[in-house]
Amino acid sequence: MKHVQALPKKRLLASALLLALAPATYAVAQDQPAPTADASPATPDGAQGASGETQPTTLDQIIVTATKRETNLMETPISITVFGQEELDRQGITNVKDIFTLVPNMDIAFDSSQAAPVISMRGVRSTNITELGDPAVGLHLDGIYSPRPQGAMALMFDVERVEAQRGPQGTLFGRNSTVGNVNIISRRPDASAFEASVGMEVGRWNHQQMRGMVNIPVSDTFALRGSFITEQRDSYLNGYYDPNQWDTRYLPESVRNAPAYSGTPEERNLVQRQRWWAGGQDGLQDVVKAHPGSFYNNADQYAFRIAGLWEPSADFSWMLSYEKFQDSSAGSADTIDCSKANKRVFLQDGEPAPLQGCENAYGPGADSYTVLVSVPGMLDLSIDTVRSNMRWDFSDYLALVYNAGWAKQVRSQMSDMDRGVTDWDMSIFFRKADFRSQSHELQLQSTGDNRLQWITGVFYFEENNDMQGGWMNSMASASYWNQPDRTLSSQAIFAQGTYEMTEGLHLTLGYRHTRDAKEDVGGRNMDCNDSNPNLLDPDLHGGRCYPAWDRDAFVQLPGDYFWNPAIFTPVTNNDIKGEWSYNLWRAGLDYELTDRSMVFGYVANGIKAGGIGDVVVQYEQDPLTTEYPLDADGNRIIRQLHENTYDPEEVTTFELGIKSTLLDNRLRLMATVFYSDYRDMQIATARPLFVTYSFARDDNGVETDEVEANEFTVFQTDNIGKAKIKGLEVEFDWAVSQGGRLSGYFTYLDTEIVSDFIQQWGFGATDLFEIDHGASVDPENEQIRANLKGNELPSSPKFTASVSYSHAFDLNSGATILPWITANYRSSSYFTIFNTDKHEDLFATATPDAFSDKRPSNTNVYLGVKYIAPADRWSVEAFVNNATDTTEFYWAGGGDGLVRGPVSMPRFYGVRASYNFR
């Protein structure tokens, strides 16, 4: 097991050398538009260039590759948002998780247990981000598919542009581009000139970020480019270690031997009040403030890329790159939504408790950034990627393109899951999660100015996963999953062509046929509890695998004791295979109204792949004695096998749009309306399958003669329901004056489940229905079944808007001062598919708002001012992110009387600077 240091020393700056450099925004070279693409729509064209002369207040052409060939953004019949490195820098965006404020109708949640984002677009997302699931929004790096959602956490740096396409893109981009995709395009080496830059950023919570880039022309035909980024930041949470919780094995001695509790009885936190296993309130200890440098929600990561570009002629180019990303932070922790906790009354001995809201759980002064844990966070996530992009224009009319990628993602992780607010002290760990993938695509495409432009190709993708991890229910049991050989293969053929029927009128037809196969070989789910034998030491714990309800024995075990699969008893055999084939298609028309305006319309489908789940075995069991009958060979008798495979889901979209360049090339305006038919929705939920029987325990953890039923619940995906989605998106980019730039978007989105969707309630059921846990997961309990027809889809705010303004003031010295401001707004929406406020007639509680899955509306502001030296030699910028200090939750789960989820960063401010070498 990797050693977890709970209270490490504070980091120092990685290098004092860079402090001696003249201030400048990092990578000044990145501030300059590329020769063919201005991908920074918020950068005023009135700013000075290298010559120091003010440029005309017109908009540069933006080149995109959304059709897998270079086209003008305003002549591409697809809804696309494009932005570059400078816009990412301005809003403090370093990974895909944070780009949702820049993209219309995009929303991103986060799952702390998997260290992965959940990307939604136009109301469609994936609800399963484990190794079993697939995303609904495809992620591509330099045009090459990235399968794992954790890949979106990799740092974005030295970026040429980011293209976010909305609407089904499956005919060209393939699997899991159901409602769009994101393509991150890195800067290419350049053989024409040497270029280098270095920069740094410092800010609140000891934030320290450094970047660098060097471009070396080795010859007239070959160039190398290297770039890097490092980031360290203390946690923005008020974190504490709590030695009063059950599992203290990972805590350092200084915490385990914390002083006796020094507060008053009224100020005790939840664990201190309910610590019944220690004999009432005896032995209580103070909680210990965690070091922010090593606590949840800190940052400790780096990445670098080395790329080579060979262009021996105008007809051939080959770029080969290697990229490394490493995240050694503590991971993320969910916190309590105090605004909802304040809407209920917490009772103590039948009377209102002395502490209410978040203080009831964590003590005086607690807020939505407070958390108490007994398991320090640990994340070791590495991603190694090799990408190859080769193009050969072997005639005046034909080009051959071969894109290939190889990726290895390895993750170890440990997270506290109850965070001191439940009776059960729970945690999750990943001993090893090894994902290896390769992607190959060979394209043949037309070139030149023919009336018919086409592309055809073949695609192959393969992923091999080896994952081991477990779940600790520390008082009573542990579970372990071992998936040594879980594979995915996907093959496809595709073709798409655009034909100019008459001058200005184009017809586009596209088709793709895909075959997917997923298989699990040798996968096992295993248990360790007090009914399982101790397979390693028959004399330990009375021959039981787990020292249930015996805290003294439990805390003596090593921290990595349950990371050993040899101590667990296998309970399920996950050998399973699924195969699917499906067709993707697209048909569209576009017409050039004028030289600067076009209209377009299309109908297309998008498909998210089907999948497999764990195989669950139900054994015969005597409900009176709790014993399992055995067959002649001494094995338990199987009553039933529960297999879970699910089919692809499909979204068919009809879209109409217009793109216009107005006011003498000073205003770009893009608008689209769309309607989507969403069928066979894949919904991943915790679903009770059957019951098992065990002897109940008294308040001291001692077994009684009473038998109780325990629901066996699994996390599985089903195809359920049908939804309708309609919306409007308007984007604009306006050079309003000499040096002034106004840009932004406005969206409207309406989603509704339109088929009967009978579902067992899965959000805060114990609190909303005022029932115990057993009743909340009882598959026979009709009280908690509801028809979700008429509900809205999660993460689908009806209105969103973003407005950015910047103005370049040119100084006589040739320098420029550039103040800027961005404001984002999102209306209210829902965290889950349950929409609690639409079903309040079902609930028993008098305060349903306290357990609601409603996400409130929010407004966020980013602002700053930048000084650019003459000839762009250096620059310095002061900035404030989340100037409104908005507290926002990215996801929410209900239970134990509280709503919890990952919380946004509070107001963040700092200074960034860099120097450019030429």
Enter the DSSP assignment of 258. Answer: P
Instruction: From 151, 215, 156, 157, select the one nearest 188 (Cα to Cα).
Output: 215
Predicted local distance difference test score (pLDDT) of residue 72: 94
Residue 727 to residue 656: CA distance in whole angstroms = 11
Cα–Cα distance for residue pair 342/852, rounded to 1 Å: 12
CATH number of 17-917: 2.40.170.20
- Report pLDDT for 3: 38
What does the pLDDT look like over 761-786, one tens digit per residue? 989 999 999 998 778 877 778 899 99
The confidence score (pLDDT) of residue 707 equals 82
- Asked if 46 contacts 735 with a C-beta cutoff of 8 angstroms, the reply is yes
Q: Tell me whether strands 180-186 and 138-141 are parallel, antiparallel or unpaired.
A: parallel
For residue 290, give every residue at least 6 positions away whose Cβ sits within 8 Å of its Cβ, in sequence order, or none.
Answer: 6, 7, 235, 239, 240, 241, 373, 376
pLDDT in tens, 112-168: 767 677 889 999 987 776 666 778 888 899 999 888 767 767 778 999 999 999 999
> Could you give the CA distance from residue 850 to residue 340 in angstroms, rounded to a whole number?
5
The DSSP bridge partners found for residue 864 are: 820, 879
Question: Which pair of tokens denotes residue 246?
Answer: 């059950």
Task: Kindly give the parts of the chain with pLDDT less than 70.
Answer: 1-56, 113, 115, 129-132, 149, 152, 276-282, 686, 699-701
The DSSP annotation for 698-727 comes to -TTS-EEEEEEEEEEEEEEEEE--EEEEEE
Residues facing residue 490 across a β-bridge? 461, 516
Contacts (Cβ under 8 Å, ≥6 apart) of 807: 44, 737, 739, 740, 741, 818, 819, 820
Structural domain boundaries in the chain: 17-917
pTM over 0.85: yes
pLDDT of amino acid 36: 39
Q: Amino acid letter at 611?
A: G
Closest CA to 591 of 660, 640, 526: 660
d(CA 615, CA 575): 7
504: left (phi over 0), alpha (psi -120 to 50) or beta: left
